[in-house]
Amino acid sequence: MKITDVQICRVTLPTDRWLLVCVETDEGHRGWGEVTGSMDDHGLAALLEGLKPTLIGRNPLNIAECERPFHQWTYPVTRTIRTYSTALSGLDQALWDVTARHYGLPLYRMYGAGEKKSIPLYANLNKAIRQKRRPEDLEKNGVLAAQAGYAMLKCTPFDEVNPANVDSDLDAGFRRLEALARHVSIERIAIDCHQRFERYTLSRMLSRLLDDFGVPYWVEDPVDVKDYDAMRTVIARYPQIRWAAGEDALTYDMMNQTMQSRCYEMLMPDVKYIGGPSVVKNVMAYGEGLGFKVTLHNPNGLIATAHSAHLSALSRFETMMEYPFMAVPERELLCEPMEQVHDGRYWFSEEPGIGIELKPEVFRTYGERFVNGRWERM
């Protein structure tokens, strides 16, 4: 089997945008990866297009050999490490998908996850209300998610906090949290801080949180992920809180630094950024061996969600995976077979590979393809 084409596609929906990588083979198989959130769609697409001549003709089953040009490529200095790692992640996803399709296996089975039928999810409430951050919007979305069977809900109530301002107003964030906590106990709520705090402001927030609400499910990315001194100070003062981080790790080494710090119990690799399934599998094996819980960061589209779910099936702890609740209404109708998310779980298709394909009409209506350095309608 040989690679015949590598395509970079963009799907711009009314409420979201997905950036995709597709590897096609001479056997008629297509493997998909997602690289949404690269922060440089054009640069990433140009990097992959530049590498395409070195990929065509290679055997996609030899994933390491296909990715070798990435480590030999001298890309312009304007390309950031995030661009590089995200492009590599997308290619890696597509190669694993096409490999599983070649062997006729669902990806989770090829990974060795046995006969799992589904994995548990938690609901990311933030994606659906990015433009409407009123307490009542969070409250409404939280009630719907709880009714849909999600055991845990994640919110970002403090996104207005400025880490450069130690006197940041926390009232707006607590009003949002109060609205959600009317219907869902704090033990079922995770708080994502998006690294918006420094040590003093974080201590103010946590003291008020524990006094007025109690202990949340976890607190995610409270400070700059590399500020281990601040985290150790806060951990010593608030040992009852579970901490999560890792979504911004762009290499295995970066995630290993987070593990070695011992500041976080929950590791959150993102299949789109860290190097793809090849790296996530190593993080899961090593991290869980050291006692960490691994929960994939996944505020993503259909393709990355499918990849993340198949990888999550490898978890020994059945840790919940993130799902962008209501971010794209009825998104399950955009693929074949339909994405099966119900009862707070992701249910696997028995189709080979990641088990889904975006419908052709999605590309006809919303799609663009990167060709010769520019985006063209599909």
* Tally of CB atoms within 10 A around 206: 20
265 shares a domain with 143: yes
229 shares a domain with 163: yes
- The 10s digit of each residue's pLDDT in 91-118 is 999 999 999 999 999 999 999 998 899 9
Q: How far apart are CA 114 and CA 95, in angstroms?
A: 21
Q: How far apart are CA 191 and CA 307, in angstroms?
A: 25
Tell me, what's the pLDDT at 80? 78
Residues, the chain: 378
158 shares a domain with 9: no
Domain extent, residue 301, equals 110-351
181 shares a domain with 302: yes
76 shares a domain with 23: yes
312 shares a domain with 203: yes
**Model confidence at 164, in pLDDT bands (50, 70, 90)?**
confident
Q: At what angle do helices 199-212 and 228-237 cross, to 10 degrees?
A: 30
243 shares a domain with 120: yes
Mean pLDDT within 324-346: 96
Tell me, what's the pLDDT at 196? 94
Tell me, what's the pLDDT at 73? 55
125 shares a domain with 47: no
Q: How far apart are CA 94 and CA 105, in angstroms?
A: 15
Helix H or strand E segment including 67: helix 63-72
Residue at 13: amino acid letter:
L
Q: Which residue has the higher pLDDT, 92 or 79?
A: 92
Mean pLDDT within 1-23: 97
117 shares a domain with 7: no
CATH assignment at residue 366: 3.30.390.10
Tell me, what's the pLDDT at 74? 54
69 shares a domain with 185: no
276 shares a domain with 145: yes
Q: How far apart are CA 289 and CA 291, in angstroms?
A: 5
Query: Which residues contact residue 147 at a Cβ distance below 8 angstroms, ignoring those fewer than 6 apart?
Result: none
Bridge pairing between strands 243-245 and 153-155? unpaired
117 shares a domain with 25: no
For the residues of 237-277, what is the DSSP string, one character each? H-TT--EEE-TT--SHHHHHHHHHHT--SEE---TTTSSSH
Q: What angle do CA 35, 39, 45 make, to 5 degrees?
A: 55
- The 10s digit of each residue's pLDDT in 28-38 is 999 999 999 88
Of 53, 91, 145, residue with least CA distance to 278: 91
Q: Which residue has the higher pLDDT, 167 or 266?
A: 266
Q: How many domains is the chain built from?
A: 2
